[in-house]
Amino acid sequence: MSLFAFSVACKKKQNFVPVYNVPAVLEPYIDSFIAEGARRGHIFKKENLIMQYDKTMDGALCGSCNSTSLDANIQKIISIYKDNPCWTDNPELETLIFHELGHCFLGRSHTSESLPNRDPKSIMVPGNLGIYSPCIYPIGGQPCDNSFKRTYYLDELFDSNTPTPGWAH
């Protein structure tokens, strides 16, 4: 009996046909993730991804990926909570999408580790989308720009052994 179940399971995986369906407004973020991955030696194809808006998600969640498995025979689905003010700018939306793609395509889990200056160590931190965004409430009335941190966070996303950057000491 177990041999039959095994052969049926194998046959099912052989018949897996991945679906790619991403809203046009989110497509530039997928293209950016693919380009950033390629710069760091990771090759991704536009396949096996469904990205959808979900109004039924818990309001505390901005997004979710259905799997951290690297098994190519699992349909990857990212749900984004559209009506939650999870992001106020493009860097925050990029962070959310890259974070979820990190789960789906890099097998990354959440980490709450910090750098020496108490910034999150990784884009895979739960709940912080402003890692490399401009400051919302600049201290002293001076605008601040954290975009210089983006390279480190993307390096770390694709390689968790990325050394601590100089700005984090």
The pLDDT of residue 136? 63
pLDDT at 67 over 50: yes
Three-state DSSP string of the chain: CHHHHHHHHHHHHHCCCCCEECCHHHHHHHHHHHHHHHHCCCCCCCCCEEEEECCCCCCCCCEEECCCCCCCCCCCEEEECCCCCCCCCHHHHHHHHHHHHHHHHHCCCCCCCECCCCCECCCCCCCCCCCCCCCCCCHHHCCCCCHHHHHHHHHHHHCCCCCCCHHHC
For residues 92 and 152, the model is more confident at: 152
- What percentage of the chain carries pLDDT values higher than 90? 64
Q: Where are the domains of the chain?
A: 16-160
pLDDT at 59 over 90: no
The pLDDT of residue 27? 96
Rounded mean pLDDT, 22-42: 96
pLDDT tens string 111-155: 999 999 999 999 999 988 888 887 766 566 666 788 899 999 999
Rounded mean pLDDT, 7-28: 78
For residues 31 and 145, the model is more confident at: 31
